[in-house]
Amino acid sequence: HDIEKLEKEIEQDPDNTFAMQQLCDLFQQIGQNREAVHLMCRIAEVHLRSEKFETASAFYRKAERLASGDERI
């Protein structure tokens, strides 16, 4: 299953933002928004550690919109 495959990739490489974004998209497609929000925050944290502040901020905003039920993601 795609979700399990991506979760294993992330487990092996916790900073793999590409896999996290793919998994986030899958979670949104199946209505698991809480998991998607969690991943968006993890992606933001990876970007913060890399000092990519604008990218991190964008992911935090997306997470906030999804968590509040705003569909403009």
Per-residue pLDDT in tens (0 to 9) along the chain, 73 residues: 799 999 999 999 999 999 999 999 999 999 999 999 999 999 999 999 999 999 999 999 999 999 998 665 5
- pTM to 2 decimals? 0.89
Asked if 21 and 2 count as a contact pair (C-beta separation under 8 A), the reply is no
pLDDT value for 69: 87
Contacts of 10 (CB under 8 A, 6+ apart): 16, 19, 20, 23
Calculated CA dihedral for residues 50, 54, 55, 57, nearest 10 degrees: 110
